[in-house]
Every structure is written in C-alpha cells, then in structure tokens.
Chain A
C-alpha cells in the first residue's frame, strides 16, 4: 500500500488484521425448495481482485446478497474482517463493504458529486450532514476514478461508462476494505470496460482494497483478476489464477461449452475461444 493512500477503516481493534477481508465458509442457501448454494467457501484478501464466474442463475448475485445481508444463509457463515457479518452494526459494515451494482438506478436528478457524497453516509451520522472532511473524501474518490470533470453534472445525463465510474467513486467514498461488484461493466462498450477495470485494478493495488467481481466475460476476467472462482451446481468447482481456473475441462464443467484456451499475444494471460460446432 502506498503511503499516500488513506487509512482503511476496515482496520480497527475489532477486525482481525490477519484474517481475510472477506470469507464465506460452507454457505448454503435456497429459494423456496430449490437449493441454490450448497456449501460455498471463498476468501478475498486485501489488495486482491477475485472474479466470480458461472452461468446465469447459478447463484453469483445471490452470493453477493448473502454478503451484503439482504439475504441470510441457511447454514454457514459470512465473515468480514474475521468477524461474523451479523455481529457488525449496519453502518460499521457499510464502512467495510461497498457495492457496485450492474447499473445504479437513480430516482431524481442527483449530480455525480451528490451521489458520491451519499457514499459518505455510513461515516456521517445522518443527523449531522456532511463535513468538510466528507466533502474532501468524496472529491478524492472522484479524482481516483477520474470523474472530477463532471462532478456537477446530473448522473442521468452521463454515459454508461461515466455512470459506472460514479458508482465506483461512491463505493470508494465509503472507504471500504472490500468492494463487491455485480457485473459492473455489463452495459459498457469495449473501451469503457477497459477504463473501468484499469481504474479498479489501480485501486486494489494502490490501496490494498479487496474486490469480489461477479463477471460474465471470461476474457475480461482473465485479463484483470488475480484469482478466479467458478461456481456451478451450488459449489465452487474451480479456483486459482486465470491459467489454473480457465482450463478447457473447467470451462466444460462450468458452462457446458467446448473451448480452447490460448495465451494473449500481448500480456500472456489466458484467452478463451469457443470451439466450432
């Protein structure tokens, strides 16, 4: 972590600094009768970008919901900073975990800056309103993702790529230890996808942020993630660095596809090519 990075609020006396920033242990979940997750375990460490891959409906987004707490696991435990997530206060948790959705739906004509300031909510005390320090933190977050130019423009007049970077800045303003991203570049063009992940990778490296990214594009995942998890049949069926995870065998088990995996000519990362037929 560079010395200029702000201190992480995830580190205080009650968070075990040796424990992974985020950990799921043997988590089970079902909607109604059908089991969705049957013993999922995973870890996200500081400064690490972890991609979560899997087919539609395999439970990736549900796993994120179990972490944010809008759903409760039937069995197993979700630990944040080494401590059961249920033991944290609601706002304490929002200072450790921040969410970047697929597309932030904003009612009303809030500006980019006003939205990023909402990310200061868990630090602010709702009654007091934002202080100079909150404003500074919000501006630093906007600068970190390069959106200071349109700080005062209404969010809904921004392009998709700009909007997603506003959502990222808002999450940064929470000063979390872990970012949870749900297909954050799903609606973006190639250039914007690349810009978004460059910004994200820079942040995980420079600030020691952990990131758990739900992602469909395996090649984008292979390019940017340090580690990949493949979820199928309610379990993590493969885990490891991109070359270890993205094998033809694992791709068949995860997506039921035949594919070849070749190195990218520029960076040597694996690239997945669907086989003919």
Chain B
C-alpha cells in the first residue's frame, strides 16, 4: 500500500502557543484591565472635580480620600464643598460609570447571543419600550411626586416599560420551547417600530405641551441627571448581578459562537443559556435606561473596540467592556456638563459625536483584520 502518511509528529517542537490573549501581538488581558482601571480612577477624579462651583483637583482628592472609611484627613475645605462633592457630583459620576458599564456589557452579551455585529442593548425593545412608557409618564403626570427607590415617576416607568417590552418580544418569538434568534431580532424590530410610532402619535396629539416635548426630547437623548445616592441602590445591584450572571455563562456564550447546534453538541443547555443571558443584559439595560435615558452608541461600539484589542473571548470581553464602557460614559458626561456650561449637552449627543468617528478610525486602522 503506497498511501502517503500525514505528517504526524514524530518529534514535535515545543508548541509555541501563548495564552490565547497574547496572539497576534495583542496586549495581555492584565495590561488592558490595569490600564482601564487606572484611567477610570483618573477620569472619576477629574469628573468629580469639574463643575460650576470650582473645587480644585487637590481638594477633590483630599475630600474623596477623607470619605473613605478609616481615613481621616485634616480638614482644609468647607463643609459646603464636601457636601457638593459627596452628595451631588460623586453620585452622578458613579452613576455615569455604572450606566456605561451596564450598556457596554449588555451590548457585548447581546452581540454574542445574536452572533450579529449590528446588535446593541436596545435591539429587542429595551429602548422603545422605555421611551414609550416614559412619554406616557411625561404626558400624564410630569410632576408626579412619588418616588420609587429614588426614581421619580418617569424613570420608574421607563424601567418597567423596558423590561415589559423585552419580555413581550421574548415570548412572541418563542415556539415549541425554543427561541430562534432571528425571530427574536425580527420581533424586536417590529415591536420597536410599533412602539416608536405610537409614541410619536402620542406626542403629536399633545398640542399644548411645548415644554414637555422639550423635556421628552432631552430624556430621549440621554443624560445622567441623578442627585444623591438612592439611584445607586438600584443601579448598583442590577449591574453587579448582571455582570456576575454573564461572567458565569461566558464559556457557554463562547460556544454559542459556533451556532446553537454545535453548542448543544458541546453539552451547552442552549435555550436556558440564552434566556439567562438575555435576562441579565436586559435588566442591566433597563436599569441604565432608568438612570440615564437612551444613551446611544455606547453599547454598540465599546464591545467592538475591545474585541479589536483583546480578542473575542467573552470572559475577558465582558469585564473589559464594563470597564471601558464606564470610562467612556464618565468622560462623555464630563464633556456634556462642561462643554457649553452652564447649558448641558445631552449625553447621547456626545457619545454619538465622539464615539462614531473614533470607531471608524479604529476600523480603518484594523484594515480588514477585524472580522466579526
């Protein structure tokens, strides 16, 4: 028999397989995390220092450090300054960070589940449901006084509307105990179109509400308008829980990149994994929408940028997306507050204007190396 043998290794050279993150000269995950954490800390400090009542960066740092438990510094600042910092600026900056982390991580998860690059956290109705509910809130009772978890009427409605819409879309797309992702996408787009049209109709019928329309538009464009720490109590746990659930499912999510049939052959509980991931990211998205309205572009672009930097593994991608998403929104919110001060630019305007060109620049530099 004269078959040629496959060059099976007789003497195998020691494999030059580096840790998967270090391929193609990509920076190691530790560098990406470390740099991200450092940049985020700097951004938080600068963003907290900036504002209409000028408190120097040095004093800001001293007040922040003094606020830490077990640390007591000699007080060289006024109580008013400390209050502005601790009760107004810092909560807002932290909220911005959590909104960015939530939207970016949710974007990474949704893109993974749908195996689709055009997906953002709002794809299956989270934004249109929130917007529809919020508009109802503005029109019915703009000044409604009651507060839920530090949220007034409109954000609370937005949160509920967002989750309710995602649930509706999920069950519309479900048949025989399965949810096909294409059906889910299409159902999300259809329900979104319906709700957006209904919202526009509602707004047009309100002829006397110039003032409210302005408020609605500024909410739709997004902005962190939080004061005090109550919102943190809602946003914080949702983001933490969402990130932990998603992290636990990062490996099955990687397997889903091979398609559902192959993931099944690898022992993945496909439907359960999809449901848990969609639930985790929808809760994060709804919490972010309640806190900051519809901040565009963050959840779409941040995961793409990070895949360019550290590769597609969802375990790393999730943390990195949360970290850099937080950084992105903290800086964007800083710009929103300071660019045209005292007028505030909507946050979504900043993220779009800055994020779009930045992403295009990266895409051009990747020169076709980046395949989704």
Knowing A99-B262, A109-B311, A110-B312 are in contact, say whether A146-B371 is a contact too (CB < 8 A): no
Which A residues lie within 8 Å of B115 (CB)?
A: 107-108
When distances are taken between beta carbons in the complex, the residues of chain B under 8 Å from A127 are 248
Kindly provide the distance from the CB of B269 to the nearest chain A CB, expressed in whole angstroms.
6
Which of B116-155 touch A at CB < 8 Å? Answer: none
Tell me which residues across on chain A come within 8 A of B252, comparing CB atoms: 121, 126
| Chain B residues whose CB sits within 8 angstroms of the CB of A143 once the complex forms | 9, 12, 15
Contact B259 A105 (CB under 8 A): yes
Interface residue tally for chain A (C-beta within 8 Å):
53
Given A94-B265, A111-B23, A118-B266: A154 and B18 interface contact (C-beta under 8 Å): no
Query: Known interface pairs A121-B267, A124-B251, A151-B17. Does A108 touch B307 (Cβ–Cβ under 8 Å)?
Result: yes
Determine the chain B residues whose CB is within 8 A of the CB of A153 once the complex forms.
23
B7 within 8 A of A: yes
Contact A108 B312 (CB under 8 A): yes
Check A126–B8 contact: CB distance below 8 A: no
Known contacts A105-B259, A118-B258, A127-B248; A111/B20 CB under 8 A: yes
Give residues 10-38 of B contacting A (CB, 8 Å): 12, 15-18, 20, 23-24
Chain B interface helix/strand/loop/mixed: loop
Min distance, Cβ B245 to any Cβ of chain A, angstroms: 11
Whether B9 lies near A146 (C-beta < 8 A) is: yes
Query: A148 near B12 (CB under 8 angstroms)?
Result: yes
**Contact flags (1/0) for B259-289 with A, using CB distance below 8 Å?**
1011011111100000000000000000000
Residues 76-94 of A at the B interface (beta carbon under 8 Å): 90-94
Closest to A156 in B: B371
CA distance A156 to B368 in the complex (A): 12
Known: A91-B267, A94-B266, A107-B115. A70 touches B261 (CB 8 A): yes
Q: Is B233 an interface residue (CB 8 A)?
A: no
| Contact in complex: A108, B372 (CB < 8 Å) | yes
Among listed A9-17, A43-51, A195-203, A233-241, interface-contacting one? A195-203
Most chain A C-beta atoms within 10 Å of own C-beta, residue among B6, B9, B248, B249: B6
Other-chain contact of A152, B17, B251, B262, B307 (Cβ < 8 Å): B17
Best-surrounded residue of B24, B249, B266 (most CB of chain A within 10 A): B266
Complex-state Cα separation, A81 to B252, whole angstroms:
26
CA distance A65 to B6 in the complex (A): 31
List of A residues within 8 angstroms of B3 by Cβ: 194, 198, 267
Chain A residues lying within 8 Å of B257, measured Cβ to Cβ, are 106-108, 110
Partner of B268, one of A106, A111, A121: A121
* Residue among A107, A113, A129 with most chain B CB within 10 A: A107
Picked from B15, B112, B254, B371, the residue with its CB within 8 Å of the CB of A118 is: B254
**Are A152 and B24 in contact, CB atoms less than 8 angstroms apart?**
yes
Query: Contact check: which of B8, B16, B266, B311 meets A122 at CB < 8 Å?
Result: B266
Min C-beta distance of B21 to chain A, whole Å: 10
A66 to chain B, nearest CB (A): 13
* B361 at interface by CB-CB < 8 Å: no
Assess the A148–B248 pair: CB atoms within 8 A: no
A250 contacts chain B at the CB level, 8 A cutoff: no
A214 on the B face (CB < 8 A): no
B255's partner among A69, A109, A118 (CB-CB below 8 A) is A118
**B residues within 8 A CB of A142?**
15
A106 in contact with B258 given A151-B17, A156-B371 (CB within 8 Å): yes
Q: A90-B268, A109-B307, A126-B249 are in contact. List 20 more A-B contacts (CB 8 A).
A: A90-B269, A93-B267, A94-B266, A97-B265, A99-B265, A101-B262, A107-B112, A107-B257, A107-B258, A107-B259, A110-B257, A118-B258, A121-B252, A121-B267, A146-B6, A146-B8, A148-B9, A156-B371, A194-B3, A266-B2
Question: Which 10 A-B pairs give the minimum distances between C-beta atoms?
Answer: A94-B267, A108-B312, A107-B115, A91-B267, A99-B265, A122-B267, A152-B23, A198-B6, A107-B257, A126-B251
| B residues neighboring A (CB under 8 Å) | 1-3, 5-9, 12, 15-18, 20, 23-24, 112, 115, 248-252, 254-255, 257-259, 261-262, 264-269, 307, 311-313, 315, 370-372
Q: List 21 A-B contacts (CB under 8 A).
A: A68-B264, A93-B267, A95-B267, A97-B265, A98-B265, A105-B259, A107-B258, A107-B372, A108-B307, A110-B257, A111-B20, A114-B312, A115-B258, A118-B258, A122-B266, A126-B249, A126-B250, A126-B252, A143-B9, A151-B16, A202-B6
